[in-house]
Amino acid sequence: MRKRVFFWISGLAGVFLLPLLFQGCGSDMPKPNIVFFLVDDLGYSDVGCYGSNYYETPNIDRLAEQGMKFTEAYAASCVCSPTRASILTGKYAGRLHITAPIPIISHKRQATDGNITPLKDPDYCMNLPLEEVTIAEALKPAGYATASIGKWHVCDEPEYFPEYQGFDLNVAGDGHGATKNYFYPYYNRWRMTKGYPWLEWNTLPDGDPGEYLTDRLTTEAIKFIEENQEQPFFLYLSHYAVHTPVQAKDSLIQKYSQKPGDTLKGHIHPEYAAMIESVDQSMGALLGKLEDLDLADNTIIIFTSDNGGHRQWTTNYPFRGHKGNFYEGGIRVPLIIKWPGVTKAGSVSGHPVISNDFYPTMLEMAGLELMPEQHLDGMSLNPLLKGAATIDRDALYWHFPHYTSMCDVVRYHDWKLIESLEDGSVELYDLKTDSLEQHDLADANPGKVQELKSMLADWRQHVNAQMPEPNPEYAKEQSGN
């Protein structure tokens, strides 16, 4: 049964307890609004304040000047659905068994590039369970209005849409993670071919000819803010951009076509640059509306990406790797948090953090009690946001039991181990001296390799991670039958 009841208060005790339960940090202080601004497939340096000289992001850069920029922030996966599930629940993707994009046509794949593989992908959870208490459900009892606007991508069936996961409003959020077209009409890329009875469902069912999806989602977000300005609100604005197909407004494409690209960083595509600027314009519109409504000083903004950038369009400079693998370029992402009156303007944190951490962070920001039985794998970032250098955690973990990046990863202090789940081979890097992951130190450090492999094995058992399965077709092929 759906777990909807959070607090049982009865009799006279409830009269006294209820005001205390939700008063937050101070009875005279209104609860802060929270805007979670999530970009799809945005690479680490695809923002001006993270080093790009080609992409123009003045509004995101201004956010960094007003808040804290994190230089070692990680997505919970190198692909979208697992990271999003971790954001919403505070749990590792391996614990949730949401470890690959939803749906993936070849999620039971047995062959890669025409060759039968020794292992096959395990079945994985295709819908974020309704039993999970999402961050939206955790905030609602405290009086928050909640909206999910944009990409959802943590389910395969409509009964798991945002409106059934604690969000009062769902705009443009269905099961899949890509739109076929960024200009109206916004047909979903895959739904029309999957044979569902609701196959006519669009990313957005209405719009004006020529309307651009990023702009439309921004308009919907602003409307939500205007309608809920008298109460605390949680806005989960999850843009489809800059995910493929790479489509942008002609005026911006022309602008970047006339601007020299940054070949060193691989920032050379005018269409992609134009998409990024539209996302930045979205941020600017939100910041402007919050200021116009005198809400800016009581609104927290969290800006990040769900994984590294697509290798066809960017390089994730200066790091090795890209969306879909677990080198730094596939999982290290930009993260900026503005918490007015708390975070020091223009501050920088170099402490490793991960998507699971947002859930407990937002609870504490709202003045609410932590829910450790829910956000089992997250740690509040509030000490960092208040000026601490570190939080008390030594290791971060990733689990991906699927081809083509079938591996597990642990980062322990500055050591990073990547272990193949197919053949047990490992790579070991010292990120303190080699953040580009150019020098594999596994052979020179067998003791450290064994230590980290043991940590991974213990962690897998602790979270009950699903593992790839032996492929009977491979065994037949090897035996000649």
pLDDT value at residue 104: 64
Residue 196's SS3 state is coil
* Tokens, residue 283: 């941020």
Q: Is the pLDDT of residue 475 over 90?
A: no
Residue 317 has pLDDT above 50, yes or no: yes
Distance of CA 234 to the CA centre of its chain: 16
Q: What is the C-alpha to C-alpha distance for residues 55 and 269, in angstroms, rounded to an integer?
A: 10
pLDDT tens-place string over residues 256-308 = 999 999 999 999 999 999 999 999 999 999 999 999 999 999 999 999 999 99
pLDDT, mean of residues 212-231 = 98
- Please state the φ and ψ torsions of residue 221, each to the nearest 5 degrees: -65, -45
What are the pLDDT digits (tens) for 25-82? 444 579 999 999 999 999 999 999 999 999 999 999 999 999 999 999 999 999 999 9
For the stretch 420-434, what's the b/e string if a residue is b when 16 or more beta carbons lie within 10 angstroms of its beta carbon?
ebeeeebbbbbbeee
pLDDT confidence band for 11 (50 / 70 / 90) = very low
pLDDT at 477 over 90: no
- Tens digit of each residue's pLDDT (9 = 90 or more) over 108-154: 444 455 578 899 899 899 999 999 999 999 999 999 999 999 999 99
pLDDT surpasses 80 at 189:
no
Question: In the chain, how long is the greatest CA-to-CA distance?
Answer: 76
- Is 153 catalytic? The answer is yes
Q: Helix, strand, or coil here: 339?
A: coil
Q: Determine the pLDDT at residue 174.
A: 81
State pLDDT tens for residues 166-188: 999 999 998 777 888 899 988 76
Distance (Å, whole) CA 415 – CA 413? 6
294 residue type, one letter: D
Contact 24, 286 (CB under 8 A): no
Q: Which of 153, 267, 322, 399 is catalytic?
A: 153
**Topology at the third CATH level for domain 30-106+125-394:** Alkaline Phosphatase, subunit A (3.40.720)
Q: Which comes out higher in pLDDT, residue 260 or 105? A: 260
Matching residue, tokens 């948090």 = 337
Average pLDDT over residues 320-348: 98
Closest to 313 (Cα-Cα) out of 39, 75, 38, 46: 46
Q: What would the pLDDT profile of 243-254 be if each residue is shown by its tens digit?
A: 999 999 999 999
**Is position 375 annotated as part of the catalytic site?**
no
Lowest mean pLDDT among 78-92, 104-118, 145-159, 367-381: 104-118
Specify the pLDDT at position 38.
Answer: 98
Which of 78, 80, 125, 155 is catalytic? The answer is: 80
Contact yes or no for 86/355 (Cβ under 8 A): yes
Tokens of 185: 């009409």
Report the chain's mean pLDDT, rounded to a whole number. Answer: 90
What length does the chain have?
481
Residue 107 in 3-state DSSP?
coil
Question: How far is the C-alpha of 145 from the C-alpha of 439, rounded, in Å?
Answer: 49
How many whole angstroms separate alpha carbon 391 and alpha carbon 379? 8
For the stretch 438-457, pLDDT in tens is 999 999 999 999 999 999 99
For residue 472, name the pLDDT band (cuts at 50, 70, 90).
confident
- Whether 192 has a pLDDT exceeding 90, the answer reads no
Task: Report whether 123 contacts 108 (CB < 8 A).
Answer: yes
Domain coordinates in residue numbering, the chain: 30-106+125-394
